[in-house]
């Protein structure tokens, strides 16, 4: 009986940690991915995203080591006004120049909603899934 209670408590803690979510509304820009703050190297063709510094560093469980940030590797759903539907991308980096709620995506993601020549789209919302 005691073992079951301990196991249940551990599983509950894991589930609560995984259920953490975040969202934002701001600008969508694009960048040339490389070695990101999550410790992985990506290219322009990968569907990846850099989250604004304020959001990613204050996410529950974040530590001084950005490679261990619990947002790393998670998917976000990006909704762009006027676009056909949401675009999914994987969190791999921190956007140091982004305002709270704004995100920087790879060219592959940006091109799903607009030409690169657009450069910046306002009023974009995103949710960590």
pTM, two decimal places: 0.84
Q: How far is CA 103 from CA 57, 69, 73, 120, 128, in A?
A: 14, 17, 15, 10, 12
Domains in the chain: ranges and CATH: 22-128 (2.40.40.10)
Helix (H) or strand (E) holding 49: strand 48-52
pLDDT, tens only, 70-83: 999 999 999 999 98
Distance CA 54, CA 72 (A): 15
**C-alpha of 59 from chain center:** 11
Q: What is the reported pLDDT for 19?
A: 58
Residue 9 has pLDDT above 80, yes or no: no
């Amino acid at each position: 009986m005691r073992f079951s209670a301990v196991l249940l408590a551990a599983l509950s803690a894991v589930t609560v940690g995984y259920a953490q979510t975040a969202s934002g509304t701001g600008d969508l820009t694009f960048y040339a991915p490389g070695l990101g703050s999550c410790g992985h190297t990506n290219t322009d063709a990968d569907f990846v995203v850099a989250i604004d510094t304020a959001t990613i560093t204050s996410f529950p469980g974040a530590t001084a080591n950005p490679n261990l940030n619990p947002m790393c590797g998670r998917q976000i759903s990006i909704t762009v006004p006027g676009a056909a539907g949401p675009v999914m991308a994987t969190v791999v980096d921190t956007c140091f120049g982004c305002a709270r709620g704004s995100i920087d995506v790879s060219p592959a993601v940006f091109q799903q909603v607009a030409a690169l020549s657009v450069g910046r789209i306002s009023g974009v919302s995103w949710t960590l899934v």
